[in-house]
Structure 1
């Protein structure tokens, strides 16, 4: 008797290698095209420019089949969202023409402003899968515009849509649409972004059913099973190459946004046994009574799944397509005690959850440094400064909201210097051009450049974050979900630590104000300036082993100084000729 594909109860057939490769590329491109449709059609800069979205196809068991190459936190949580929807709806109650909206952080969503749109895919009258898109909408009725740090529970942080039908059998639910748009600060932007998401998901249905028409239902879904088995097999093989053992790393988050003097611990114990890996978060901080918690399904699991792919199956190592799908979750066990910051109890809020996810991924990576030295980087910025600038547009009668993700940097890597001015790890949003901001909002970006700190010394240097200064042209407020103002990114193997972040209000005035990493509705008058400095990554390896010519290059590029070259790297540079004094350098390094 042939093996059956459980989700569809159809025979699993053998797929030849060439067809398997063709279908694998097709799955990938369907998700990519879905993302492109959303980028092109959206109105808000957080989607159109930052590409803070995810898209893909999910089967009827909630297993992710393919994903767009966009923000890992989005694409990794698509399957969890479908599982969440299926806790409320039986498959037989889902019909062709239905469109679901969902954002419940305890039923799969990464955090509540990430709105999930899900369309069932029917083939010859049979439900076979779901076309899913999700994106961060500008405002969802939270306590403060655009985001929320202070919320004590999910009811305070935003409007919750738990598997609701925007359309039922093709009929638009006008009352639900009105309720949604009447309870946000940016109704026109939200409506157009939601329509763009629906168009994107419909494109996914079109492309996926075209593929089935061409190759047959049995062949396509058998190929999907083959690709899941392949991803699992490749990850198990990569894990098996690492010595068995238990490895530990920790880090500290600034605070929960309210208890400002209490830092929050992140503990990662990584255990490798044969071809399996366990990530144990026991010892991490308890859940908090603000929005600074991380949902388990949508954030914690997604962060760990991402770092598994990055560490073990990086494209630069394998030079072949290894899809991120549900097969990769099979060798991984996650232990997150109920009630900790990475597995909070309902109804704790989890709006501001990204910095926890990034530091978690950073700690897992650093825990494996001794046994995977060629795969890890030194400490990354492991943060985002996710900022909501907002004010009221009296002419339109609604708020303007601009959401900005301020990038950080990576740490040095084996054989390579770090990447500067780049989102690290789980963050993957794009830079919003200054012209876009100044065209649409009463803001002026007066400075945007690499953080002028000296790079963290190492055989391979750390990366530089950014410094950004934005002036309000009318009164407004700022809310920020930030971190790493207190703990700097760690250097490894003798490399120096990087530098931490900061935010300052009116930095060049007589009375500059140092701001905490988390803000809620900080008032800005017309003419006030917000300065943001993001962290610089750590160094990798002994700085005295760095090529002196590279040190000279760093001095010429203003990444370091002549004095620091001598003190940190043991490299003597003649200030007159700007060349390396080889003899003096050799003597200094020798002794």
Structure 2
């Protein structure tokens, strides 16, 4: 018999463990990308690799981190004190800078749980600093790590660690961030053992399974509220950075009773550039949308996703095959997948679905040699924008939305860590779409380089605007601008260029779409 009070206790205890892991990771990390932007996720899993609890971190990791755990279970024989590292997108990863560390939790000599965290490292090698190049193969994007033990019986494998550090531009920073990930997992292991010591292994497993059943029940009830039928929508990726344009992402969502089938088979084939998404990304985006339909106090775990079936076709933009380039699929294509799933659902439950948000993460990487330290530096940032309006309210301005849940790097931290000067950081006024409720406004971020550097920008919604709904107007498209000697150059959505000290890069992010007729 399940005690509802104890079920609530376990819901909060398990999510608190993941949250505490995140606090440890953030506070002990070296890079601003993890320390300031909090570009990471932490989670706990049962012995089958099913997600039990994930902290409120990065939505794009929802469906992909469990796949990393499952791939690791297939290929690794665990012993107590081990930790496995991987970043291979074709083995449950997302893109190469996202590095996952997985640790088993043994109770009385038997493997009972896993803890894991995934953090975006600001460099993992590859063709350009920041490991987000304009690429046509995954081999150009960085050092590929299959599931391998980084820690063996409590001791770091120095040979593996040296191999990784020897393939990145900022080895000291990487070492600090890896150590932070290790400490986060150690914390998770300790807390799970304390939980078992307090309640017994039998009780912990009973209530973990009950949480899965509870979340599944809530999701099924929510899907039942959506009218039965088939709902379709399509939108386009503007380009892949290598001359291929308007790559279609199409979805048909079939609702029958308490189950949803989300079918992407009519999407375009994978492309030459790096906007290809592995299936884990597509699943994450779908899970995020359906999870967002639920009230916030429902535990996020594998049970939420059991009533949802995601269908893809191999070799497409939403389920690419090796060795397709994927670095932008994680950050850009994931956003468009969300847009098409929301667009389809807007036909079924219009009052619950907002207009399109900015639909991009506006990725910028900058790397070079810091003249003050004579050391390599790599900077990575995603920049917020406008959120789509809804039936109830205007969209939020200058905020990260959908598949990214990171913070911004504060100006003080940015200028302290890197040879940059932030010239402007402001809301992009009136960039949100007009409507009965207006879309949120984007951001203008302008950075002056104080050293020569390679700058790479991976963005979208520079040509195809974020859509409005039900008479609402589209948000403004974004702009990428380089300023040399006072002269502005408009750049495409994806570019990589060597800039000189004194040059300025300005990113103007898109606004969100409006909702409803502005005259009604």
The TM-score normalised by the length of structure 2 is 0.97
Tell me the residue number matched to 1:371: 348
> What are the superposed Cα offsets for residues 199-251 of structure 1, whole Å, 9 maximum, x if unpaired?
00100001111001101111111111111111111111011111111111111
Is structure 2 residue 420 aligned with structure 1 residue 443? yes
Q: Are the counterparts in 1 of residues 432 and 442 from structure 2 also a CA contact under 8 Å?
A: no
Partner of 2:295: 314
The structure-2 alpha-carbon separation of the partners of 1:457 and 1:252, relative to structure 1 and needing over 3 Å to count, comes to: same
- 1:278 partnered with 2:253: no
Task: Give the Cα–Cα distance (whole angstroms) in 2 for the partners of residues 541 and 507 of structure 1.
Answer: 42
**1: distance between equivalents of 2:475 and 2:78?**
52
Match of 1:514 in 2: 490
**Structure 1 residues 126-525: aligned runs within 5 Å:** 126-259=110-243, 262-297=245-280, 299-310=281-292, 312-315=293-296, 321-353=297-329, 354-393=331-370, 396=373, 398-506=375-483, 509-510=486-487, 512-520=488-496, 522-525=497-500
C-alpha distance in 1 between matches for 2:191 and 2:168: 33
Match of 2:58 in 1: 71
The question of whether the paired residues in 2 share the 8 Å contact of 1:293 and 1:344 is answered with yes
Query: Which of 4, 11, 20 is the aligned partner of 1:24?
Result: 11
Range that drifts further, 193-202 or 378-387: 378-387
Residue by residue over 1:400-419, the C-alpha shift from the partner in whole angstroms, topping out at 9 and shown as x without a partner, is 01111111121111111111
Answer with 460-469 or 394-403: which moved more: 394-403
Q: Say whether the 8 Å CA contact 1:55–1:75 is kept in structure 2.
A: no
2:506 paired with 1:531: yes
Which segments of 5 or more consecutive residues in structure 2 lack a partner in the other structure? none
How big is each residue's C-alpha offset from its partner over 1:416-456, in whole Å with a ceiling of 9 and x where there is no partner?
A: 11111111111111111101101111101111111133532
Paired with 2:483 and 2:340, the residues of 1 have a C-alpha distance of 34
- State the 1:291 CA deviation: 2.0
Q: Whole-Å Cα distance in 2 between the matches of residues 149 and 251 of structure 1?
A: 24
For residue 507 of structure 1, report the CA deviation from its aligned partner: 7.7
> Are residues 1:542 and 2:517 paired?
yes
Does the C-alpha gap of structure 1 residues 128 and 393 become closer, same or farther in structure 2, counting only changes over 3 Å?
same
1:153 CA drift (Å): 2.6
Q: Note if contact 2:433-2:475 (Cα within 8 Å) is conserved in structure 1.
A: yes
Report how far residue 31 of structure 1 moved. Answer: 0.4
Cα distance in 2 for partners of 1:459, 1:255 equals 32
| Superposed CA offset, 1:553-576 (max 9, x none) | xxxxxxxxxxxxxxxxxxxxxxxx
Q: Give the corresponding residue for 1:40.
A: 27
Alpha-carbon shift at residue 349 of structure 1 (Å): 2.1
Change in Cα spacing, 1:341 to 1:518, as seen in structure 2 (3 Å) is same
- The alpha carbon displacement at 1:478 in A equals 0.6
2:42 to 55, 69, 73: 55
CA distance in 2, matches of 1:457, 1:508: 36
**8 Å Cα contact 1:147/1:479 also seen in 2:** no
8 A Cα contact 2:448 2:503, kept in partner: yes
Cα distance in 1 for partners of 2:440, 2:287 equals: 25
Structure 1, unpaired ranges of 5+: 1-13, 316-320, 546-591
Q: Distance in 1 between matches of 2:375 and 2:312?
A: 41
* Partner-residue secondary structure (3-state), 2:239: coil
Deviates more, 1:393-402 or 1:323-332: 393-402
**Alignment partners' CA distance in 2, 1:403 and 1:306:** 24
Aligned-partner SS, 2:185: helix
Conservation of the 8 A alpha-carbon contact between 2:485 and 2:503: no
* TM-superposition CA deviations, 1:21-64 (whole Å, max 9, x none): 11111001000000011111111111111111010111222111
Distance 1:191 1:22, change over 3 A: same
Query: Could you say which structure has the greater relative contact order, defined with CA pairs below 8 angstroms and 6 or more residues apart?
Result: 2
Higher alpha-carbon Rg: 1
Question: Following the alignment from structure 1 to structure 2, what is the Cα–Cα distance between the partners of residues 449 and 244?
Answer: 44
Count of equivalent residues: 519
1:257 counterpart SS class = coil
